[in-house]
Amino acid sequence: MTITSKETVVLKNFIDGNWVQTNGVEYLDVINPATKACLAKVPISTKEDVEAAVRAAKTSFKTWRSTPVPKRARILYAYHHLLAKHHDELAKLIVQENGKAYKEAHGEVQRGLECVEFAAGAPTLMMGESLSNIAEEIDSSMYRYPLGVVGGITPFNFPMMVPLWMFPLAIACGNTFVLKPSERTPLLANRLVELFIEAGAPNGVLNIVHGAHDVVNGLLNHKDVKAISFVGSQPVAKHVYETAAKNGKRVQALSGAKNHHVVMPDANIEKAAQHVLTSAFGSAGQRCMACSAVVVVDDDKNQFIDELKKKANELTIGNGMEEEVLLTPVIRENHREKVLGYIKQGISEGASLVRDGRKEMDELKEGYFLGPTIFDHVTPEMTIAKEEIFAPVLSVLRAKDLDEALEHIEKSRYGNGATIYTKDAKAIRQFREEADAGMIGVNVGVPATMAFFPFSGWKDSFYGDLHVNGKDGVNFFTKKKVITSRFDF
Ligand code: NAD
């Protein structure tokens, strides 16, 4: 599906196997950020819509929970096949509604496919444990069971990968699901549901309710929703975590980030600058694993910053469907306005603006573009060093040695990812042991974990205990029961 029609597409919710209109009256435009064209209208659904979706999910749970695990897994295999068949179409849809470059979108589809591959291993993943002879003639065994109805709330920046972090594994484990996708990127979510139904999912197992905070709060406060998986910005993640926990739900809330990359004096400057550039400016810096602060160690001659500026001046900005484009638009005009405020604040707080991306705004008026923006001599106390800007704005901090660079990282309230560029084994080990973040890169620009490892942010980048993906994901979506049996009775 690629949106080409002149007629406005009006999106519907998907409840109990049917596409249904919202009970509400409000709709939002879904905008292509590279052209400002309206792609569709998304409903801002109501609590009544949530009620209907949860009811359907609760009813289907009665049969889905006891559907044999291999049978559930077979639907995931079929789903994988369909997603792979539509790889190009899905990538193009991501470009249209999110704005990122086609190559990035293609990679995102691949990351999503890997989540489905992982979930298809449910028969192995859900296995319990047993031990005979825990006492005379007594054995114990542990089984895993699904929780019930699970709610998933997702952000705009990975419209394919993030929903696929959630519902394939939850459903493979026997839960039923209500998805609330980002209202800014809802098209891909509908396509994911269509293909899931084509793969053979029974009615009510996966439901979708479009909208904004009313839908989120409806899920958080619903007594029949047993767990909430959330990915989004920090204030909302905290609200989701606290409200869901207060209501007795299991919750994982993945939040904002400020990822530091440390460039050591022995690093290959050309390669390190290329990695930082792609990490900071790819997807317009709108990745929770983007490099948003680079700490340059002992670089009095400005070798790294000069190379970075040179590369930033050469990079291609434009519509994600064009070849060789790296820097694409930010998601909306109001987001760009907020970012411009941060740029002004960086200047007023004394950082040196060594590359000003505002000039490209005038050259590329058709979308929400902002050129690569680099501040040098940023200190950890400045606002631009502390807050997640989520845009192509990079802060460069200076450090005399690795210890000082690690202190800069520790001062950040966020702890999603951190990367070091070096060949020095001792520095790599120290960084691995001491960097205050949950996902570490060694000469890797975007150290996002694959589906079989937990996506493991720390500090204010994550609220909860069990992360998404990997064994954490299986533990999150299942509860355990231990049976103790005596045989000499
Ligand atoms: P967002 O917080 O604006 O929205 C996320 C979801 O929450 C959306 O579905 C939205 O409708 C809903 N929402 C927004 N405001 C709400 C409110 N007041 N009450 C209830 N629900 C609300 O986030 P976004 O802008 O779509 O996504 C970008 C953010 O997500 C960034 O902060 C990024 O770091 C974060 N993110 C984190 C990870 C991670 O793994 N830690 C991954 C991807 C994105």
Q: Whose CA is nearest to atom 39 of ligand 1?
A: 254
Predicted confidence at residue 4, as pLDDT, reads 56
Q: Going by C-beta distance under 8 Å and a sequence separation of 6 or more, which residues neighbour residue 189?
A: 154, 159, 163, 179, 181, 208, 210
Our mutation pick for probing the ligand 1 site, out of 47, 231, 469, counting the most ligand atoms within 8 A of Cβ, is 231
The CA distance from 173 to 149, in Å, is: 12
The CA distance from 240 to 252, in Å, is: 9
Q: 253: CA distance to ligand 1 center in Å?
A: 10
Can you give the pTM of this predicted structure?
0.98
Q: 112: CA distance to ligand 1 center in Å?
A: 18
Residues of the chain with pLDDT under 50: none
Q: Whose CA is nearest to atom 43 of ligand 1?
A: 288
Q: Is 156 known as a binding-site position?
A: yes
Q: At what angle do helices 87-98 and 187-198 cross, to 10 degrees?
A: 160
Q: What does each C-alpha distance from 44 to 21, 40, 250 come to in angstroms?
A: 11, 13, 26
Q: How far is CA 482 from the centre of its chain?
A: 34
Contact 220/247 with Cβ under 8 angstroms? yes
Ligand 1 atom closest to the Cα of residue 331 is 25
What stretch of H or E contains 453?
A: none
Q: Whose CA is nearest to atom 16 of ligand 1?
A: 213
- The ipTM is 0.99
Predicted confidence at residue 197, as pLDDT, reads 98
Q: 456: CA distance to ligand 1 center in Å?
A: 17
Contact 255/418 with Cβ under 8 angstroms? no
Amino acid at the residue 233: S
Q: Is 184 known as a binding-site position?
A: yes
CB atoms within 10 A of CB 387: 16
- List the beta strands (DSSP E) in 196-304: 206-208, 225-231, 250-254, 259-263, 291-297
Our mutation pick for probing the ligand 1 site, out of 182, 286, 412, counting the most ligand atoms within 8 A of Cβ, is 182
Is 353 strand, coil or helix?
Answer: strand
Q: 198: CA distance to ligand 1 center in Å?
A: 29
CB atoms within 10 A of CB 158: 28
Predicted confidence at residue 2, as pLDDT, reads 54
DSSP state at residue 8 = P
Q: 119: CA distance to ligand 1 center in Å?
A: 24
The CA distance from 311 to 315, in Å, is: 6
The CA distance from 475 to 150, in Å, is: 14
Active site residues: 288
The CA distance from 48 to 15, in Å, is: 12
The CA distance from 398 to 400, in Å, is: 7
Structure tokens at 196: 């899931």
Verify whether ligand 1 is closer than 6 Å to residue 388 (CB atom): yes
Ligand 1 atom closest to the Cα of residue 462 is 41
Q: Select from 421, 416, 374 the least CA-distant residue to 395.
A: 374
Verify whether ligand 1 is closer than 6 Å to residue 185 (CB atom): no
Predicted confidence at residue 146, as pLDDT, reads 98
Q: How far is CA 282 from the centre of its chain?
A: 15
Q: Is 388 known as a binding-site position?
A: yes
Ligand 1 atom closest to the Cα of residue 182 is 9
Contact 215/183 with Cβ under 8 angstroms? no
Verify whether ligand 1 is closer than 6 Å to residue 232 (CB atom): yes
Verify whether ligand 1 is closer than 6 Å to residue 430 (CB atom): no
Look up tokens 């996506």; give the residue: 455
Predicted confidence at residue 6, as pLDDT, reads 60
Q: Is 136 known as a binding-site position?
A: no
Predicted confidence at residue 8, as pLDDT, reads 80
Is 327 strand, coil or helix?
Answer: strand
Q: 304: CA distance to ligand 1 center in Å?
A: 33
